[in-house]
């Protein structure tokens, strides 16, 4: 799994849980612009950032980095 896939999954979960990028940025102590660089694949995400976001969302890192498959 590459950084782009990870960040797409995080954005998917953020939006589905109803969080704004501003809220997530505050949780990890970043400015909105710095967090935006993560979501827009301009900066790789670090392990501690994954853990902090997963905790905030109430998920494991594995859940956070996976987009659920649609049921047919």
Burial of 35 (0-12, 13-18, 19+ CB in 10 A): buried
**Averaged pLDDT, 59-70:** 91
| Percentage with pLDDT > 90 across the chain | 89
End-to-end Cα separation, the chain, in angstroms:
24
Band of pLDDT at residue 1, cut at 50, 70 and 90: confident
Domains for the chain: give ranges and CATH numbers: 3-64 (1.10.260.40)
């Amino acid at each position: 799994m590459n950084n782009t896939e990870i960040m797409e999954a995080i954005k998917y979960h953020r939006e589905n849980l109803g969080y704004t990028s501003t809220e997530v940025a505050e949780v990890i102590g970043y400015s909105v612009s710095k967090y935006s660089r993560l979501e827009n694949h301009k900066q790789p995400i670090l392990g501690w950032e994954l853990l902090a976001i997963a905790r905030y969302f109430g998920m494991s890192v594995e859940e956070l980095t996976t987009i659920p498959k649609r049921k047919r």
